[in-house]
Structure 1
Amino acid sequence: MRTTEQNSLYSDLDRMSAGELLRAINTEDRKVPEAIAGEIPVIERVVVAIVERMKRGGRVFYLGAGTSGRLGIVDASEIPPTYGVRDKFIGLMAGGDKAIRNAVEGAEDDPEQGWKDILAFGPTPDDTLIGIAASGTTPYVVGAIRRAREHGLLTSCITCNEGSPMAAEAEIPIEVVVGPEFVTGSTRMKAGTTQKLVLNMISTSVMILLGHVKGCKMVDMQLSNSKLVDRGTRMIMEATGITDYSVARDLLLRHGQVRTAVEAYFKERQ
């Protein structure tokens, strides 16, 4: 039996108090970062390979079903506002966008549909496909990885079971085994947390290595709300030595981006 399907280490959950439930869930959740730590060398290989390909114009496709698919879409959708980079991380899930909110029955069982969904984007050998499936058995994902590898894409995956069909198809499989779920088979819990953390690690590291962070600041972020305008203004004040908030803010709004505003400020003073 797959680890993600094994019985919970806790019995009689329905007899636990709220406090007992919360403490037990927290105990299980703490196992996740420890398990991920053991896979960092593998995750590093994926990151380095993606950076090399993105420098040549490559992209990353996240592909999953259910919770796994939604997590990929969330991570991909946060890249443009955070780093000012569009169309580099693309999240796809079985059943399409309508499945983000509502389950589409049977969508994940078609081994050909995942690759068909990717074909709409004109994939090239510089692209990377990361399959996301806690079980490692989802046909929609397994079939896509197989076809992607045939067409020269770099393939990786994130699973919480060892020796899965998905890992067997992927060039660089990331296998983070976190044990049975608190509620038996509910992979939205520890497995979902695992996937979210690994996706964060991959996309954040790639963006930093491609130069979208200076020091520890998101210098290419989109100014999509007043909070981010304020953050960008203060970043400019720190980087340039400008002491007047309104001057820094005007500079930011004129150029639309922290990096561009700072570069323009120093260029004007040469």
Structure 2
Amino acid sequence: MTSTSPVHGDLRAELETLTTEAFRPDLADVDRLPTLDIAHLMNSEDRSVPGAVAQHLPAIAAAIDAAAERMARGGRLIYAGAGTAGRLGVLDASECPPTFNTDPSQVVGLIAGGPSAFVNAVEGAEDSGELAASDLAGLGVGADDTVVGVSASGRTPYAVGAVRYARSRGALTVGLSCNENSPLAAAAEHGVEVVVGPELLSGSTRLKAGTAQKLVLNMISTITMIRLGKTYGNLMVDLRASNEKLRARSRRIVAYATGAGEEEVEAALKATEGEVKPAILTILAEVDAVTASRLLTEAQGHLRAALRAAP
């Protein structure tokens, strides 16, 4: 006869209340279905995720505006989570430098257990709010920073602890989860609870919940960068051309933005040492590279503002 400790019993009871952990009897025989039928089921489930995200767009937009305001003052965007949620935060952060030419310290992903947890589970790491506080203290989190706690359940101690510590330091806090009335949303100034319902595989929150979190993190980073002037229209004008593919993309972006021919585009990029934004400015404003750089500095990197200020 086995016994259940009070702690384990409480945890089991708590998990049973979570939408993301719910069991779906209608899918009990999913393993007996043909592969194509399972694929149709998964695709049907996934189609519900954007609609669930859409219900929270006002809350997401408010969080983005608040984060962009702080980042414009020199603050950072910091994601904190465990497991899949932590990996998604690290992924989103790691894609900002090549996409928007941000310094790696501007958008940071923290995962419970450290970098090794990205590929290997670190037992017990997600259960420590103190570990999250220590990780954020190591970054010197302050009032100009934004900390986004990410947790499908909304109860992961690492994510909740990160938000609580960040808020105690005056940072802006966002809690992203996939269950209603979560401790994470309650701890944050901006709570975003995207309820996507039970998973195809009970409790496998890398599925719909992970997709929802990825969609929201895409919005947070992308729209924040748009607000910070990292784009010109829908062009990534702060692109860092670190390989031949990106160098080719840089040439196309300058051409799209200016309508200039190949020779003029090449000359502009050569004059600005491959930097897309000043290259566009040299062509559209008919200024030299030094002037373009100065105008962009004075406009805090916003290309449209620099064009308005050009002689």
2:78 aligns to what? 61
Structure 2 counterparts to residues 31-180 of structure 1, below 5 A:
31-86=48-103, 87-180=105-198
Name segments (4+ residues, structure 1) moved above 4 Å: none
One-letter identity of the residue aligned with 1:3? T
2:269 aligns to what? 252
CA–CA separation in structure 1 for the residues paired with 2:260 and 2:182: 56
Q: Alpha-carbon deviation of 1:253?
A: 4.3
Asked if residue 197 in structure 1 is aligned to residue 197 in structure 2, the reply is no
When the two chains are superposed, the root-mean-square deviation of aligned CA atoms in Å is: 1.5
Which ranges of structure 1 fall in alignment gaps of 5 or more residues? none
Tell me if the contact between 2:236 and 2:253 (Cα under 8 Å) persists in the aligned partners: no
Q: Quick check: 106-115 or 252-261, which moved more?
A: 252-261
Asked if residue 27 in structure 1 is aligned to residue 47 in structure 2, the reply is no
One-letter identity of the residue aligned with 1:7? F
Q: Alpha-carbon deviations, 1:4-44, whole Å to 9, x = none?
A: 01013522111011111000001110110000000001001
CA–CA separation in structure 1 for the residues paired with 2:75 and 2:260: 38
**Which SS does the other structure have where 2:240 is aligned?**
coil
Distance 1:241 1:4, change over 3 A: closer
CA–CA separation in structure 2 for the residues paired with 1:43 and 1:139: 23
**Which SS does the other structure have where 1:267 is aligned?**
coil
CA–CA separation in structure 2 for the residues paired with 1:131 and 1:152: 15
Q: Alpha-carbon deviations, 1:80-103, whole Å to 9, x = none?
A: 110111122110000000111101
Q: Alpha-carbon deviation of 1:166?
A: 1.2
Q: Alpha-carbon deviation of 1:3?
A: 0.2
**Which SS does the other structure have where 2:132 is aligned?**
helix
One-letter identity of the residue aligned with 1:177? V
CA–CA separation in structure 2 for the residues paired with 1:152 and 1:241: 46
Q: Quick check: 61-70 or 47-56, which moved more?
A: 47-56
2:35 aligns to what? 18
Q: What is the TM-score of this pair, normalised by structure 2?
A: 0.83
Q: Alpha-carbon deviation of 1:63?
A: 0.1
Which ranges of structure 2 fall in alignment gaps of 5 or more residues? 1-16, 290-310
Tell me if the contact between 1:67 and 1:188 (Cα under 8 Å) persists in the aligned partners: yes
Tell me if the contact between 2:81 and 2:159 (Cα under 8 Å) persists in the aligned partners: yes
One-letter identity of the residue aligned with 2:189? E
Tell me if the contact between 1:229 and 1:249 (Cα under 8 Å) persists in the aligned partners: no
Q: Alpha-carbon deviation of 1:158?
A: 0.9
1:183 aligns to what? 201
Larger Rg over CA atoms: 2
Q: Alpha-carbon deviation of 1:248?
A: 2.0
Q: Quick check: 4-13 or 58-67, which moved more?
A: 4-13
**Which SS does the other structure have where 2:139 is aligned?**
coil
1:4 aligns to what? 20
Asked if residue 268 in structure 1 is aligned to residue 291 in structure 2, the reply is no
**Which SS does the other structure have where 1:61 is aligned?**
strand
Q: Quick check: 201-210 or 233-242, which moved more?
A: 233-242
**Which SS does the other structure have where 2:78 is aligned?**
strand
Tell me if the contact between 2:81 and 2:149 (Cα under 8 Å) persists in the aligned partners: yes
One-letter identity of the residue aligned with 2:18? R
Q: Alpha-carbon deviations, 1:131-174, whole Å to 9, x = none?
A: 00000111111112112112211111110001111111111110
Distance 1:172 1:241, change over 3 A: closer
One-letter identity of the residue aligned with 1:22? A
Q: What is the TM-score of this pair, normalised by structure 1?
A: 0.95
Tell me if the contact between 2:101 and 2:238 (Cα under 8 Å) persists in the aligned partners: yes
Q: Alpha-carbon deviation of 1:212?
A: 0.7
One-letter identity of the residue aligned with 2:82? A
Q: Alpha-carbon deviation of 1:118?
A: 1.1
Aligned residues: 269
